Chain A
Amino acid sequence: MKEGWLNRDAPPSQRGKPGPVRAGARQLVDALRDPENFQTSDWSGLITAARAEQLLGSLAFRLEGRPVPERAASILAGARREAAQQRTQALWEAEMARRACEGLSVPLILLKGTAFHAAGLDAAVGRSVGDLDLLVPRARIEEVEAALIDAGWERIKPADGYDDLYYRRWMHELPPLVHRDRDRMADVHHTILPPTARPTPDAAALIADSIAIDSGVAILSSPDMIVHAAAHLFADGDLAGGLRNLWDIDRLLRQFGAEPGFWQVLATRARLHQLTAPVALALRLSARLFATPVDAGIAGRARPSDRLFEARLLARDNWGRPTRPLLRFAFYLRSHWLRMPPLMLARHLLVKARR
């Protein structure tokens, strides 16, 4: 494998100087990437954009100890307190699910934010967690669902309705479950992309290589975690809220990149899961926005479309409003195109439009 590091930084002219205020999400990226040299005259805009992108907790930890105005400092301290509580809640949900499934001897693999927190990864610092995301073998998924329902989780889609059947037939996860007392959502996956998408990740390999972190609970291996994050961001969905996922990727790559042999295994696993292109794109975008040191061989050469992805990820202004409606719509269409074959897409959109 070619050794070499792609390390793009912001142009020197834009660093360290108070200069003109940059648009919301762009300013947020500056602050996350280089907190030491970050200055702004629009703290309200920064805080609003960070909230809208679910990155206020991460930002608050990045700026901890930096000289910031008193009011901003108190808002950021509040965000750190909130992040600590979110962490407690996320870990508690995982523990509740573990207890619910204790008798099944199915390993519960934690995904995304909950996994970062449970494993104490750098990506967990300030990371907000919404839902509990789990991965289990497809053959056992109904047992897990029944165990969760026994323990107080409830279906929110009417059973046997279009959505319910759609999930069960075509999705990589069960229809969402919500706990009746704690009002927290659980998404139980059997793989990391919808079966209708063109790439078919090797779910059995994801599970076989997972790492136990606690009795009955596991996380994906480091390279698979990157592959999953890249698949989630670039091979599924319309990139709404994607900046947080890209920040995850930056944090994970900086931590894992130092492990011996990591990049080689990452390339192998990306190929195995048929996700070489999304992984390459994730590396390029992470380097582009957050100056992440990445393997240039895997990242590949910059493509003209990289700029569109960047523009989509940064489509947020200082008032927290989404910008670039046409670009967002294009990515919305792309997400459906990626997710299902054309005829199926037509039928699905027809059903949705009739509601």
Chain B
Amino acid sequence: MRHQLALQIGPVAFRIGSAWPEPLAALARLYAAYPAPADDICDFTVRLEPEKPWRRWIRPSVAIQGDYVLPDAAPMALAHGLLAAEMGMNLQMALGQKRFLLLHASSVEKNGRALVMTGESGAGKSTLAALLGERGWRLMGDEFALLDLDSGNLWPFPRAISLKNGAIAVMEGEAPAERFGPLLEDTPKGAIRHLRPNEAAIVGMNQCARPALILFPRFGADCAARGVGQAEIFMRLTQSSTNYVALGGAGFDALTGLVRSCPAAAIDYPDTEGAIDLVEALWSEAA
């Protein structure tokens, strides 16, 4: 393709081809300091193509193509090309990743042990992980947690953190400006700004961690935590996995292994500072 970029993120390599230079220039800036894939061999291919041939020049419109596609995905404005590239990579993982059990969860690491946070969209798992990643934890990923099917370890997948709406201001107070991508307004999910994880996260992108605690955060009510039984943990995690069914027996074994070995709690929080304190308290209990 006319413009291309290859990225290594944790154990997964992507190549992104584009009909326009702008989305890849933005992507290269955002992922500065990430290594290139070894041997130039990539797991997945993403293509950003004009929706119709003439839409390359006239009212440019970016269709997300690649190894795996959603047939009815709406094309995006070229101004949101960076988001299209990010969505393209997410799509490959969600539909095509079969080497790991994929949990729609964020994860952070301390002393070789991982904290996994999962919940519905808007629960704050991404923001919490981003904050912890600036406060002494190593960010492993804000979107997908990769569970190794054989060892039961968690692989880092430190993509750029996708901050939405209110979370943007929260993190602008925490991380230096050069790590932020452009502010993308009026996307289908509102305002989005990407944040490159810090150096510790990038340098550590090949270091697995043992899952030690699973949290199901929920934003809104007063600080509270309740234990969650294994059956409920299992059900919640199957719902948060995009490839549990596709993996068959291997997915079941990996997930039951995780549930048996790892305590879990559902937490409510009214604000981020309260959440951080609660998470640290639960972590020291579990440790």
Chain B interface size, as a band, is: 20 to 34
> Is B67 among interface residues, defined by CB-CB distance under 8 A?
yes
The residue of chain A having its C-beta at the shortest distance from the C-beta of B17 within the complex is A319
Q: Is B39 a contact of A78 with CB atoms below 8 Å?
A: no
Q: Is A44 a contact of B40 with CB atoms below 8 Å?
A: yes
Q: Is B248 a contact of A51 with CB atoms below 8 Å?
A: no
- What is the CB-to-nearest-CB distance from B93 to chain A, in angstroms, rounded to a whole number? 13
> Is A265 among interface residues, defined by CB-CB distance under 8 A?
no
> Is B42 among interface residues, defined by CB-CB distance under 8 A?
yes
> Is A321 among interface residues, defined by CB-CB distance under 8 A?
yes
Given A43-B41, A85-B248, CB of A78 within 8 Å of CB of B67: no
Q: State which of B39, B66, B246 has its C-beta within 8 Å of the C-beta of A71.
A: B39
Complex Cα spacing A70 to B1, Å: 25
Q: Is B13 a contact of A71 with CB atoms below 8 Å?
A: yes
Q: Which residues of chain B are near A75, meaning CB under 8 Å?
A: 41, 43
Q: Which of B15, B96, B98 has the most chain A CB atoms closer than 10 A to its own CB?
A: B98
- What is the CB-to-nearest-CB distance from B192 to chain A, in angstroms, rounded to a whole number? 27
Q: Is B47 a contact of A319 with CB atoms below 8 Å?
A: yes
- What is the CB-to-nearest-CB distance from B287 to chain A, in angstroms, rounded to a whole number? 33
Q: Is A44 a contact of B248 with CB atoms below 8 Å?
A: no
Within B230-260, which residues are at the interface with A (CB < 8 Å)?
A: 246-250
Identify whether the interface residues of B are mostly helix, strand, loop, or mixed: mixed
The residue of chain A having its C-beta at the shortest distance from the C-beta of B13 within the complex is A71
Q: State which of A69, A85, A319 has its C-beta within 8 Å of the C-beta of B45.
A: A319
- What is the CB-to-nearest-CB distance from B95 to chain A, in angstroms, rounded to a whole number? 11
The residue of chain A having its C-beta at the shortest distance from the C-beta of B97 within the complex is A78
Q: Which residues of chain A are near B15, meaning CB under 8 Å?
A: 44
Q: Which of B38, B40, B65 has the most chain A CB atoms closer than 10 A to its own CB?
A: B40
Complex Cα spacing A303 to B139, Å: 62
Q: Which residues of chain B are near A48, meaning CB under 8 Å?
A: 45, 67
> Is A320 among interface residues, defined by CB-CB distance under 8 A?
yes
Complex Cα spacing A184 to B39, Å: 38
Complex Cα spacing A321 to B48, Å: 11
Interface flags for B183-215 (1: CB within 8 Å of A; 0: not) read: 000000000000000000000000000000000
- What is the CB-to-nearest-CB distance from B224 to chain A, in angstroms, rounded to a whole number? 36
Interface flags for B138-154 (1: CB within 8 Å of A; 0: not) read: 00000000000000000
> Is A296 among interface residues, defined by CB-CB distance under 8 A?
no
> Is A156 among interface residues, defined by CB-CB distance under 8 A?
no
- What is the CB-to-nearest-CB distance from A107 to chain B, in angstroms, rounded to a whole number? 29
Q: State which of B39, B98, B249, B250 has its C-beta within 8 Å of the C-beta of A69.
A: B39
> Is A82 among interface residues, defined by CB-CB distance under 8 A?
yes
Q: Is A43 a contact of B39 with CB atoms below 8 Å?
A: yes
Complex Cα spacing A329 to B94, Å: 32
Complex Cα spacing A41 to B99, Å: 23
Q: Which residues of chain A are near B96, meaning CB under 8 Å?
A: 51
Q: Is B41 a contact of A320 with CB atoms below 8 Å?
A: no
Identify whether the interface residues of A are mostly helix, strand, loop, or mixed: helix
- What is the CB-to-nearest-CB distance from A141 to chain B, in angstroms, rounded to a whole number? 29
Q: Is B248 a contact of A89 with CB atoms below 8 Å?
A: yes
Complex Cα spacing A71 to B99, Å: 12
Complex Cα spacing A53 to B66, Å: 13
Q: Which residues of chain A are near B37, meaning CB under 8 Å?
A: 71
Q: Is B99 a contact of A72 with CB atoms below 8 Å?
A: no
Q: Is B41 a contact of A69 with CB atoms below 8 Å?
A: yes
Complex Cα spacing A320 to B68, Å: 11
> Is A74 among interface residues, defined by CB-CB distance under 8 A?
yes
- What is the CB-to-nearest-CB distance from A54 to chain B, in angstroms, rounded to a whole number? 11
Within B122-158, which residues are at the interface with A (CB < 8 Å)?
A: none
Q: Which residues of chain A are near B6, meaning CB under 8 Å?
A: 44
Q: Is A78 a contact of B41 with CB atoms below 8 Å?
A: no
Given A71-B37, A71-B39, A78-B98, CB of A319 within 8 Å of CB of B1: yes
- What is the CB-to-nearest-CB distance from B70 to chain A, in angstroms, rounded to a whole number? 15
Q: Which of A43, A71, A72, A88 has the most chain B CB atoms closer than 10 A to its own CB?
A: A71
The residue of chain B having its C-beta at the shortest distance from the C-beta of A44 within the complex is B42
- What is the CB-to-nearest-CB distance from B124 to chain A, in angstroms, rounded to a whole number? 31
> Is A157 among interface residues, defined by CB-CB distance under 8 A?
no
> Is A271 among interface residues, defined by CB-CB distance under 8 A?
no
- What is the CB-to-nearest-CB distance from A129 to chain B, in angstroms, rounded to a whole number? 13
> Is A324 among interface residues, defined by CB-CB distance under 8 A?
no
The residue of chain B having its C-beta at the shortest distance from the C-beta of A317 within the complex is B1
- What is the CB-to-nearest-CB distance from A196 to chain B, in angstroms, rounded to a whole number? 27
Q: Which residues of chain A are near B45, meaning CB under 8 Å?
A: 44, 48, 319-320
Complex Cα spacing A179 to B6, Å: 39
Complex Cα spacing A103 to B99, Å: 41
Complex Cα spacing A81 to B49, Å: 31
The residue of chain B having its C-beta at the shortest distance from the C-beta of A79 within the complex is B98
The residue of chain B having its C-beta at the shortest distance from the C-beta of A321 within the complex is B47
Complex Cα spacing A98 to B282, Å: 52
Q: Which residues of chain B are near A74, meaning CB under 8 Å?
A: 99
Q: State which of A47, A85, A319 has its C-beta within 8 Å of the C-beta of B246.
A: A85
Q: Is A51 a contact of B67 with CB atoms below 8 Å?
A: yes
Within A82-131, which residues are at the interface with B (CB < 8 Å)?
A: 82, 85, 88-89
Q: Which residues of chain A are near B41, meaning CB under 8 Å?
A: 43-44, 47, 69, 71-72, 75
> Is A52 among interface residues, defined by CB-CB distance under 8 A?
yes
Some 22 contacts from A to B, beta carbons below 8 A apart, are: A43-B39, A44-B15, A44-B40, A44-B41, A47-B42, A48-B45, A51-B67, A51-B96, A71-B13, A71-B37, A72-B39, A72-B41, A79-B98, A81-B98, A81-B99, A82-B98, A85-B247, A85-B249, A88-B249, A319-B17, A319-B47, A321-B65
Q: What are the nearest 8 A-B pairs in CB distance?
A: A71-B41, A85-B248, A78-B99, A44-B42, A48-B45, A43-B41, A82-B98, A69-B39
Given A85-B247, A320-B67, 10 other A-B residues pairs in contact with their CB atoms under 8 A:
A43-B39, A71-B13, A71-B38, A74-B99, A78-B99, A79-B98, A85-B249, A88-B249, A320-B47, A321-B49
